[in-house]
Structure 1
Amino acid sequence: MAPSDPVTMRLNRRSLLRGSAAAAALSFGPGLARADETRLRLAWFGSQDRTRRTQAVIDLYQQKAPGISLVGEAISGGAYWTKLSTQMAGRNISDVFQLEPRTISDYSGRGACMALDPFIPQVLKVEDFDPGTVDLCRIGGKVWGVALGLNSFSLFYDTTVFAKAGLPAPTAETTWAQYADLAVELTKAVGKDHFWGSSYGARYTYVFDVWLRQRGKALFSADGQLGFGVEDAKEWYAYWEDLRARNGCVGGDIQTQDQSIIETNPLTRGFSAMGFTYSNQLVGYQAMLPNKLGITMVPQAGGGAPSGHYYRPALIWSVGSTSKNGEAAAAFIDYFVNDVEAGKILGVERGVPPSRKVREAILPTLNETERASVDYVTFLADKVGAYQAPPPIGSSEFGDHLGLTTDQLAFGQLSVAEAAQQLFEQGSALLRRR
């Protein structure tokens, strides 16, 4: 089954629940079988490894909460957001569902999320979280979700390819100019058809955001508008088009197939030796590749400029606004982020745990790859900027717009100047409509 197929995998004990319910109905009559049972639906997206870990925590929780029935649903690709929109329209949102930083403003603003403030701190305990972590999901004065882990932006690279090519791997000091030269040299050194040094990074909003922050700007301003201008976008696009012309990165025909999931990144598909992604995904990427991956910072501007990096919630659990069991849903989230045994199962696949207690407990249990992910986040401690508020409403649509505009540029349908103008003008309009 192709990773990009919009496949929905229904998990947990659905068949068992059906059988048990049917048997109970025969014994006790309709309507009595689940009278004392609270049923919660969970939905998330991600790799098979994430699904395996999540399912294991679900199973463990049900052993400790016998009155709760949990049914998990892992939805791959863009089908997740389609399903969520359908549930919103039908007022049937999953009790607990997964969001990310760029989508929480959109979906909380559209009424998909239940405010969690009434459950804090009695049900949902956050006193062991690092300062500011709760605020990462606070919008308009209310908490709409809980960060499942902290991460930051990163560059992954295939250590084996670099070693065989006899070239130095990128480091935290590598500048954008040095990165471009390195990618070009690597393509030449490997000398293999359909293999390049780098992915085509112009398509990633978070890499563009880092690049802008290194220059004192940002993807979005504090008032929810674009934080850059046409000339900034023109410089960004010119960098990547120049790298593509030098044969240092993959072309549009490959990059456009990346659906922002691990399985479709040019790095995991064997088309590039370097790829941009989030630090917590090192676990998932390494599971897909035979060669050892290295992790470092996104290229730097140099000259004492800011790193452009900041900590962010890797992923978020929110409670559906239509849930009839909000307190039970909040209790499950509390277990997910605060229980040590759950933390050992989850590891750092969704980021470094927000709970200090869980973090300290799992460190000795981590494998080499997981530890590298934690070490990287720790390494950034004196290099990151201030915690950022969630992106504004419309940021998700802007991300789609950037992807489309960049694809048109990569296929030669727009010039650098035209792409920059379109990105700014239509992107501004998307945010204004909100």
Structure 2
Amino acid sequence: MLNRRQLLQNGLLCGGAAALSQFPTGMAFADEATRLYWFGSPARAERTLAVVKLFETANPGIKINSEVGGNDYWSKLTTMIAGGNAPDIYQLAPSRFADYARRNATLPLDEFLGKIIRTDKLMPNALKLGSVDGKIAGIPLAINAFALLYDTAIFEQTGLKPPVETTTWDDFAKLCVELTKAIGKPNLWAVGNCARYSYALEAFLVQRGKRLYLDNGQIGFDIEDAKAWYGYWDSLSKAGGCVSAEIQALDKNQIDSNPMSKRNAAMTIAFSNQLVGYQQLAKNKIALTSLPILEGSGQSGLFYKASLHMAVANNVKNPELAAKFLDFFINDLEAGKALGVERGVPLNLAVRDVVAPTVDEVSKRSIDYISSIADRVGDFPPQVPIGASELEERVYRPIADKLGFGLLSVAEAAQELISQANRILKL
């Protein structure tokens, strides 16, 4: 977590409005103050605090007391909510959003829509991304989509052509094996072993007419789908097309620990807004395209996702003020310029039009990608169910690693995935 001194040294603290210490339980705030809590990089802190300052300037007398969390974000948030000291406004990841809403930790925002929170310039149906059980439980902050990122210089050096939107999974496997051989360097492969990434599996499933999760909160695939997924990556690994199990096991599902960022892979499957982060860590230009598909004319497996949500605590003292800040965050043009596309491409189409010419070349690539797939995306997915975050940590990654190390067969991995997922999602 960034402390006050670090933020002062980095120029991130905006006036006296942003107190970045943890607020003690029971601390009273005036009616014109509200608490904001989020997680992310120093760059995100800088952008968020810039919006806070803009909001306070536009609304004299109102204070936004801001705190940015670190690795302990979720434990602190849970503790604050359990103690009745929840932040008035807090950021949620899509994998946890519906969980918090269904535990009544968020305030439904329906009554503020079209009144305090303007919706007329948002992309069509965007608020469905914030809907849980028929109520708007939070505001999606931006959108992203699945993407395949690749190092352009490596493809130029080897003379091989990078994947395109019509590349099939079979073609991709052949390319990966050929690319690894063409690179000819120890500990550098074509791609990471993406068997452990649930988001990559989700795109694969959508292409097969399935879903990772259903509306009822259960998994939307069967053991044959799991066998196909694990079998693909197991075969690619044995053929030398993706990184070794030892390398992949070091990935903590963060940009900086991904094999591509560690220069052990030329490609990775990620989210489009993560291009900025990957490019910052790369020596060469990183480009992005859509994921491989089952067959040339098949479904893309793509859909727009909420990159993050902002929710309002169910016990917030001044819900109108919280709603006003959320409106400013997603609809104000100057706020949009300050935020850029670090959290994803803006939901507000007018903001998007204003932001696009102001961002750097890397961010523009992310915006252009979102626009380029507009006629290929499918329906928004169901909300991630309670227990999904546990699946990420205890099921998807561990099972894929066991498969990679040869501790499980493809059939055993598939069976364990189905059994563990059904057990956790039935809790």
Alignment TM-score, normalising by the size of structure 1: 0.89
Check whether the contact 2:18–2:49 (CA below 8 A) recurs between aligned residues.
no
1:203 and 2:196 equivalent?
A: yes
Alignment of structure 1 residues 256-267 onto 2, 5 Å: 256-267=249-260
Gaps of 5+ in 2: 20-27
Q: Does 1:47 align with 2:51?
A: no
Q: Give the counterpart of 1:80 among 37, 59, 73.
A: 73
Does residue 1:362 correspond to 2:355, yes or no? Answer: yes
Out of 368, 382, 385, the position equivalent to 1:389 is: 382
Q: 2:139 aligns with which of 136, 146, 158?
A: 146
How far is 1:48 from its partner? 3.0
Return the letter of the residue paired with 2:152: T
SS of 1:219's partner is: strand
Counterparts in 2 of 1:15 and 1:414: CA distance versus 1, 3 Å: farther
Equivalent residue number for residue 342 of structure 1: 335
Distance 1:226 1:18, change over 3 A: closer
Q: 1:426 to 1:35 in 2, by over 3 A?
A: closer
- Partner residue, 1:285: 278
The 1:266–1:139 alpha-carbon spacing in structure 2 relative to 1, beyond 3 Å, is same
Higher alpha-carbon deviation: 356-365 or 200-209: 356-365
Residue 122, structure 1, aligned to residue 115, structure 2: yes
Contact 1:14–1:71 under 8 Å retained in 2: no
Any idea what the Cα deviations from partners look like across 1:20-64, whole Å, max 9, x if unmatched? xxxxxxxxxxxxxx9756333322223332222222222222222
User: Residues 351 and 18 from structure 1, CA distance in 2 versus in 1: closer, same or farther, beyond 3 angstroms?
Assistant: closer
Provide the secondary structure at the position in 1 that maps to 2:279: helix
CA-CA distance at 1:355 after TM superposition: 0.9
Aligned length: 413
Which of 401, 407, 417 pairs up with 1:407? 401
DSSP 3-state at the match of 1:382:
coil
What are the within-5 Å matches in structure 2 for residues 18-417 of structure 1?
A: 38-77=32-71, 79-400=72-393, 401-417=395-411
Q: Is this contact kept in 2: 1:62–1:69, CA < 8 A?
A: yes
Structure 2 CA distance for partners of 1:15 and 1:343, relative to 1, 3 Å: closer
Structure 1: which 5+ runs fail to align?
A: 1-6, 20-33
CA separation of 1:36/1:211 partners in 2, compared to 1, >3 Å: closer, same or farther?
closer
Paired residues of 1:315 and 1:350 also in contact (CA < 8 A): yes
Distance 2:346 2:275 in 1: 15
TM superposition score normalised by structure 2: 0.90
Cα RMSD (Å) of the superposition? 2.3
Deviations 1:177-201 (A, max 9, x none): 1212222222222222222110111
Return the letter of the residue paired with 1:282.
Answer: L
Q: Is the 8 A contact 1:53 1:346 kept in 2?
A: yes
Is 1:250–1:272's contact at 8 Å kept on the other side of the alignment?
Answer: yes
Contact 1:37 1:67 in 2 (8 A): no
Is 1:424 the counterpart of 2:418? The answer is yes
Change (3 A) 1:17 1:61: closer
Do the aligned residues in 2 keep the contact of 1:49 with 1:284 (CA within 8 Å)? no
Query: In structure 2, do the counterparts of structure 1 residues 17 and 54 end up closer, same or farther at CA, with 3 Å as the change threshold?
Result: closer
In percent, how many aligned pairs have the same letter? 42
Identify the range of structure 1 (86-95 vs 334-343) with the bigger mean alpha-carbon deviation.
86-95
Q: Measure how far apart 1:110 and its partner are.
A: 1.6
Deviations 1:87-143 (A, max 9, x none): 222222222211132221111112221111232222111121122111111111110
Distance 2:29 2:273 in 1: 40
Distance 2:296 2:161 in 1: 21
- The amino acid that maps onto 2:402 is Q
Quick check: 1:47–1:262 contact (8 Å CA) kept in 2? no
- Alignment CA distance shift 1:411-1:83 (3 Å): farther
- The one-letter code matched in structure 1 to 2:127 is V
Amino acid aligned to 1:52: E
In structure 2, the CA distance between the partners of 1:252 and 1:326, relative to structure 1 (3 Å rule), is farther
